[in-house]
Amino acid sequence: MSYNPNPLYAAPEDWRAYSGVLSRRVLAFILDYLIVALLWVPAAIVLFFVSIVTLGLGFLLYPALFVIVAGIYFGLTVGGPSQASLGMRAMGIAIVRVDGRPMDFLTAIVHLALFWILNSVLTPLILLAGLFIERSRLIHDLLVGTVTVRTA
């Protein structure tokens, strides 16, 4: 069986598709949150002007603005045709579903929400799980039914 670097919708069986995925995920996480932080700034400026037009009601969205920006970013990128965010593409990885269906917006949002919830409860253990679970899957990957594979 030859290794195909192009991500398919189904998770490949070749072990090379999962080699070095954990370290790439950590670097992709850092890149993605730098991108989300950069996207948050113009969103905050737009929300400021929307808040003035709505007589201050828009200011109520400021506490949740980072979550909203991150949700839209990951929903559109991970749930899009490339099945990877910009940071994941830079690191040469993508998320695929184990059942063979393509990632959609809702699955990407659920994946992100479970990551945040589990990371806040099990902070260091969430990455340690990838060392012991097959295919370097993390706990939220198991719950959603996804796996991260190399594309390069």
Residue spans per domain, the chain = 20-141
* pLDDT per residue as tens digits for the range 19-42: 889 999 999 999 999 999 999 999
**Which pLDDT band, with edges at 50, 70 and 90, does 75 fall under?**
very high
Question: Over the chain, what is the mean pLDDT?
Answer: 89
Which amino acid type is present at position 13?
E
The phi and psi torsions of 35 (rounded to 5 degrees) equal: -65, -45
- Calculate Rg over the CA atoms of the chain: 17
Span 1-26, average pLDDT: 70
Judge whether residue 88 has pLDDT over 80.
Answer: yes
**Which pLDDT band, with edges at 50, 70 and 90, does 17 fall under?**
confident
Residue 29: partners with Cβ closer than 8 Å, 6 or more residues away: 87
pLDDT attached to residue 7: 45
Span 137-143, average pLDDT: 91
**Which pLDDT band, with edges at 50, 70 and 90, does 3 fall under?**
very low
